[in-house]
Amino acid sequence: MTLRVLLADDHAMFRSGMRAVLETQPDLLCVAEVGDGHEAVAETLRLRPDVAILDVRMPRLDGLAATEAILAAPGNVTRVLVLTTYDNDDYVYRALRAGASGFLLKSLPPEEMASAIRVAARGDALIDPSVTRRLIARFTTSIEPTAVPADFERLTSREREVLLLLADARSNAEIAAALHVGEETVKTHVSRILSKLSLRDRVHAVVYAHLNGLAGTPPR
């Protein structure tokens, strides 16, 4: 199966480099490359690619606003990955809140960039643990403790453990090791958590945990 990808970045050289990376992958196809947010929205809605990669900083409409417009469109099937750098922590959180499936660093090696596209296309989310842990530490300092949300009570004790480990930016492999279970078991727990809490993907499970003051608390 060939995955169709749209690239949106105002730097033509970066887009050309990304297209070259995609052309080396037999299962990835660049269906369009655009230079601003308005074009990104229009072409995504017209072409309905599997994944759209949007730079945060673009003229006319930035990547965050474009992400919101794409994901709010009726019948949208496109997953959005937002490009960022280590120096833009606030952009990362805004991207996740806007509904992006994750974020990529422009310094990411080509093979990892291609892998990230596949991850997003199959409905999973992408979080770079090294970046996320730093962002979480910064983000949570501004959050006031809140009452535990009612829907959290629907989770089993093991599902709560998994959610809190997700909130600590753990990968499935790391969660499996911490709980002494298999990765497939972790995937099952994550799927049930998303269903019970009506969350889109694991990125939004992380946001949910931090917005509700659950991160860093012992499971109950």
**Residue 141: which H helix or E strand, with range?**
none
Looking at the chain, the domain(s) classified CATH 3.40.50.2300 span 3-126
Question: 3-state DSSP call for residue 3?
Answer: strand
Write out pLDDT tens, residues 23-44: 999 999 999 999 999 999 999 9
Question: 3-state DSSP call for residue 4?
Answer: strand
> Which one-letter amino acid corresponds to residue 195?
S
Phi, psi of 84 (to 5 degrees): -150, 180
Residues 48, 77 contacting (CB under 8 angstroms): yes
Give the N- to C-terminal CA distance of the chain in Å, as an integer: 43
Fold of 3-126: Rossmann fold (3.40.50)
Residues 91, 64 contacting (CB under 8 angstroms): yes
What is the average per-residue pLDDT within 156-164? 92
Looking at the chain, the domain(s) classified CATH 1.10.10.10 span 140-211
> Which one-letter amino acid corresponds to residue 145?
P
Residue 131 pLDDT > 80, yes or no? no
- CATH 1.10.150.530 holds for 140-211: no
182-207: burial string, b at 16+ Cβ within 10 Å, e else:
eeebbeebbebbbebbebbbbbbbbb
Write out pLDDT tens, residues 14-28: 899 999 999 999 999
What pLDDT score was predicted for residue 109?
Answer: 83
Cα 192 to Cα 110: distance, rounded to the nearest angstrom: 33
Residues 203, 101 contacting (CB under 8 angstroms): yes
What is the average per-residue pLDDT within 68-73? 92
Nearest to 154 by CA among 208, 201, 210, 207: 208
What pLDDT score was predicted for residue 206?
Answer: 78
Residue 197 pLDDT > 60, yes or no? yes
